[in-house]
Amino acid sequence: MKAQADTAVALQYSEDLPAPIVLASGRGPLAEAIKRIARENGVTLVADAELAESLIQLDVNTFIPESLYGVIAEILVFVRGLRMEK
């Protein structure tokens, strides 16, 4: 399935959680609202259409599946590195 460019998924992770959790997801105008709110709050946006397509299948307030731990961990390390550079 081809990933849509107008897709957004917001994740939350902290060390007290067993895994990252889906906070919000949507397509079209809802995706744009998620991205806008993220930018307004200084949240780093990562563009990965294939990953977004996998994550949007999950219900909000659910943990990501173990099969996505590796790719999400790589993104979290990348984002942490960006924040340390600031």
What is the DSSP secondary-structure string of 27-71?
ETHHHHHHHHHHHHTTPPP---HHHHHHHTTSPTT-BPPGGGHHH
* pLDDT bracket for residue 86 (50, 70, 90): low
- CA separation for the pair 32, 11 (Å, rounded): 15
Identify the pLDDT of residue 82: 78
Average model confidence (pLDDT) across the chain: 90
- Domain 7-85 = CATH 3.40.1690.10: yes
Q: What is the pLDDT of residue 41?
A: 95
Report the pLDDT averaged over residues 64-68.
Answer: 96
- Whole-angstrom distance, CA of residue 86 vs CA of residue 47: 20
Sign of CA dihedral 48, 56, 53, 6: negative
Model confidence at 58: pLDDT above 60: yes
Model pTM?
0.84
Q: Read off the pLDDT of residues 17-46 as tens digits, 9 standing for 90 and up.
A: 999 999 999 999 999 999 999 999 999 899
Give the pLDDT of residue 8: 95
